[in-house]
């Protein structure tokens, strides 16, 4: 009986040891899995305790900041990463939102801030800081997840530059349309200079040279010359920057590339943009920025035409590209809006035709000019069941 009990105790003891080993193994597995997950994330992740000391870091954090885990863990994260604001002023830890996360027990999200790399260079980041609620004070603190915004900011800057170039193009085209007005504007001071110069000559030939009068007429010449110079200065200012050369362009890539510029407006207007790119399109020879401007004008007009549609009615912008004839490509920009009224339709491509409170009425006439200069055609098609399409053709590259 005694030895039976002993055996039972021994058996239970062995089972308990086995269970404990299994538990420890599964805990190790779990920890390994957690580490794997943490280290697979592309965002930087680190934990801080109630004192602001780093408790854990993931691989991305090490890569993004240049600090190794051994340099970070146990040290004050704020002093290493977050000590200075973007404007170069010191950032005291008492003012750091991460520091207050656990005391306020509220998660925070900061859209744009600066962290500092080990080499002293800044990283633009967005980050969230979420409290960690553990039973023990040693388990409390916050977990910070941050994302490097460099690429996104660069893309935004590239889009901004792109837009500036597009705007430049619009200026050039507008100036082209304004040429006769500008010439007229220049003609007036030049004519005044001629008249006044002739008056001076006449005055010089009079027997009693009238110095005061001569001075007055010369003053008027200087004034008119300054007026002409001001017009030329304005012209040069608007035309600054060389026009780019024609290049071989992939029309589908060009259309796709415009989406980042169009999407914010489309989103605001509740418009869905769809692209149907034609297959195997040969390149066209064109000035990229000009074709982009045409597309941008047409798409923006399409989006704007759908803003007033009643709720529930589809707001769709469809951009298609296709082979039109063997040597011509066709781009069609269609919307589900009401289309222009008959009266506007007749004057669509005439400068200063607009129905918008802030419209200039230049977009379509500029676009028309650009497409004609590329030996294509811009025209409008209205559809029986509603909606309108603005279409343009472009010849394919001849030297292919």
**Binds ligand ADP by CB under 6 A, chosen from 72, 125, 271, 302:** 302
* Among 104-112, 188-196, 265-273, 332-340, the segment contacting ligand ADP (CB under 6 A): 332-340
Considering the complex, state which of residue 230 and residue 373 has its C-beta at the smaller distance from ligand ADP.
373
Considering the complex, state which of residue 102 and residue 305 has its C-beta at the smaller distance from ligand ADP.
305
CA 273 to chain centre: 17
Q: From the CB of residue 264, how many other CB atoms can be counted at a distance below 10 Å?
A: 10
Whole-angstrom distance, CA of residue 35 vs CA of residue 47: 13
Whole-angstrom distance, CA of residue 145 vs CA of residue 128: 5
CA dist list (Å): 386 to 155, 176, 301, 335? 37, 35, 16, 9
* Among 109-117, 222-230, 300-308, 324-332, the segment contacting ligand ADP (CB under 6 A): 300-308
* Among 3-11, 26-34, 71-79, 297-305, the segment contacting ligand ADP (CB under 6 A): 297-305
Whole-angstrom distance, CA of residue 61 vs CA of residue 72: 10
Considering the complex, state which of residue 57 and residue 388 has its C-beta at the smaller distance from ligand ADP.
388
Number of residues that bind ligand ADP (CB under 6 A): 22
Q: Are strands 284-286 and 141-148 parallel, antiparallel or unpaired?
A: unpaired
Q: Is 176 in the site for ligand ADP (CB under 6 A)?
A: no
CA dihedral 225, 228, 229, 231 (to 10 degrees): 160
Q: Is 38 in the site for ligand ADP (CB under 6 A)?
A: no
Q: Is 305 in the site for ligand ADP (CB under 6 A)?
A: yes
Spatial contact of 300 and 265, defined as CB atoms under 8 Å apart: yes
What b/e sequence results for 14-35 when a residue is b if at least 16 CB atoms lie within 10 Å of its CB, and e otherwise? eeeeeeeeeeeeeeeeeeeeee
Q: Is 336 in the site for ligand ADP (CB under 6 A)?
A: no
Encoded tokens for 384: 């029986």
Q: Is 334 in the site for ligand ADP (CB under 6 A)?
A: no
* Among 36-44, 85-93, 189-197, 353-361, the segment contacting ligand ADP (CB under 6 A): 353-361
Considering the complex, state which of residue 52 and residue 339 has its C-beta at the smaller distance from ligand ADP.
339
Whole-angstrom distance, CA of residue 66 vs CA of residue 62: 5
**Binds ligand ADP by CB under 6 A, chosen from 202, 356, 375, 383:** 356
Binding site for ligand ADP (CB under 6 A): 297, 301-302, 305, 335, 337, 339-340, 344, 348, 353-356, 359-365, 388
């Amino acid at each position: 009986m005694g030895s039976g009990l002993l055996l039972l105790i021994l058996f239970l003891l062995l089972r308990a040891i086995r269970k404990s080993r299994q538990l420890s193994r599964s805990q190790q597995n779990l920890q390994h899995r957690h580490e794997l997950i943490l280290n697979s994330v592309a965002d930087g992740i680190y934990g801080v305790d109630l004192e602001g000391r780093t408790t854990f870091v993931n691989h991305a954090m090490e890569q993004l900041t240049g600090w190794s885990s051994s340099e970070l863990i146990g040290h004050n994260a704020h002093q290493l990463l977050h000590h200075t604001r973007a404007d170069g002023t010191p950032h005291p830890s008492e003012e750091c939102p991460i520091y207050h996360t656990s005391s306020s027990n509220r998660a925070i999200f900061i859209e744009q801030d600066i962290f500092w790399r080990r080499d002293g260079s800044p990283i633009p980041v967005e980050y969230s800081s979420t409290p960690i609620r553990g039973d023990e004070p040693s388990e409390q603190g916050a977990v910070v997840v941050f994302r490097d915004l460099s690429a996104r900011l660069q893309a935004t800057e590239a889009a901004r530059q792109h837009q500036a170039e597009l705007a430049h193009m619009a200026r050039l085209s507008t100036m082209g349309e304004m040429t006769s007005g500008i010439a007229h504007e220049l003609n007036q001071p030049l004519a005044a200079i001629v008249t006044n110069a002739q008056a001076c000559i006449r005055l010089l030939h009079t027997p009693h040279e009238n110095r005061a009068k001569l001075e007055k007429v010369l003053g008027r010449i200087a004034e008119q010359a300054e007026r002409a110079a001001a017009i030329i200065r304005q012209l040069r200012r608007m035309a600054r920057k060389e026009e780019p050369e024609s290049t071989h362009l992939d029309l589908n890539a060009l259309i796709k590339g415009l989406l980042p510029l169009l999407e914010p407006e489309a989103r605001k207007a509740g418009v869905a943009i769809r692209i149907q790119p034609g297959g195997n399109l040969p390149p066209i020879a064109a000035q990229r920025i000009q074709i982009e401007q045409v597309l941008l004008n047409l798409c923006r007009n399409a989006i704007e035409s759908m803003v007033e549609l009643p709720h529930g009615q589809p707001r769709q912008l469809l951009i298609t590209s296709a082979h039109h004839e063997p040597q011509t490509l066709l781009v069609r920009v269609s919307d589900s809006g009401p289309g222009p009224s008959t009266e506007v339709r007749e004057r669509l491509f005439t400068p200063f035709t607009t129905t918008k409170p802030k419209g200039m009425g230049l977009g379509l006439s500029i676009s028309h000019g650009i497409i004609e200069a590329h030996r294509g055609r811009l025209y409008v098609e209205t559809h029986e069941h509603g909606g309108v399409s603005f279409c343009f053709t472009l010849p394919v590259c001849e030297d292919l």
